[in-house]
């Protein structure tokens, strides 16, 4: 009878007690995103913009696509479409020039043709699919 109690106790331990403790083990994350060079982000095709400094009222999606690019002059055009639930979408084309430092792209500059104002976008952190840019107006 003692043998039966021992087997029953081991069975209960293996079925009821041990699995919840095994399930509580944490597993390490699969893959970590690798940091990329800014040009990989720029040339990645369609990007979706999210600006914390500009207010696009009613815009739910801002896709941006690379247009005319000139590798010799280190310039490219980016066409942005403001898509929103209210009203038609508007299109804006901006022209950029790459700023290199020691052979690597560190920033891009853009000029507003209407106001003549220059803006510098410095890459703070870049992945292939995402980038954090610091924006400052050039005086």
The string of pLDDT tens digits covering residues 27-69 is 555 566 677 777 677 766 667 666 665 565 666 667 777 777 7
User: Residue 7 above 70 pLDDT?
Assistant: no
For the chain, the three-class secondary structure string (H helix, E strand, C coil) is: CHHHHHHHHHHHHHHHHHHHHHHCCCCCCCCCCCECCHHHHHCCCCEECCCCCCCCCCEEECEEEEEEEECCCCEEEEEEEEEECCCCCEEEEEEEEEEEECCEEEEEEEECCCCCCEEEEEEEEEECCCEEEEEEEEC
Q: Do the beta carbons of residue 74 and residue 105 sit within 8 Å?
A: no
Strand bridging mode 75-84 / 104-111: unpaired
Share of the chain above pLDDT 90, in %: 0
The residue written with tokens 């403790």 in the block is 21
pLDDT digits (tens, 9 = 90+) for 95-139: 788 888 887 778 888 876 677 778 888 888 887 777 788 888 876
pTM summary value: 0.56
Query: What pLDDT, on a 0 to 100 scale, did the predictor assign at position 118?
Result: 83
- Residue range 79-104, pLDDT digits in tens: 777 666 665 566 677 778 888 888 77
Q: What's the confidence (pLDDT) of residue 74?
A: 76
Domains of the chain listed by start with CATH number? 38-52+59-138 (2.40.128.20)
| 75 touches 69 (CB < 8 A) | yes
Mean pLDDT across the chain: 70
What is d(CA 51, CA 94) in angstroms, rounded to the nearest whole number?
A: 15
Contact 105, 98 (CB under 8 A): yes
Residue 94: the pLDDT is: 76
């Amino acid at each position: 009878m003692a043998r039966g109690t021992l087997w029953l106790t081991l069975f209960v331990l293996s079925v009821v007690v041990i699995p919840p403790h095994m399930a509580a083990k944490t597993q390490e994350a699969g893959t970590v995103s690798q940091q990329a060079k800014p040009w990989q982000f720029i040339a990645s095709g369609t990007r979706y913009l999210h600006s914390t400094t500009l207010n696009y009222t009613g815009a739910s999606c801002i896709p941006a696509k690379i247009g005319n690019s000139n590798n010799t002059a280190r310039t490219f055009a980016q066409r942005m479409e403001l898509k929103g639930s209210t009203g038609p979408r508007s299109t804006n084309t901006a022209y950029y020039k790459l700023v290199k430092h020691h052979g690597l792209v560190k920033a891009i500059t853009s000029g507003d043709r209407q106001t003549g104002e220059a803006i510098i976008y410095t890459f703070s952190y870049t992945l292939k699919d995402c980038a954090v840019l610091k924006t400052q107006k050039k005086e």
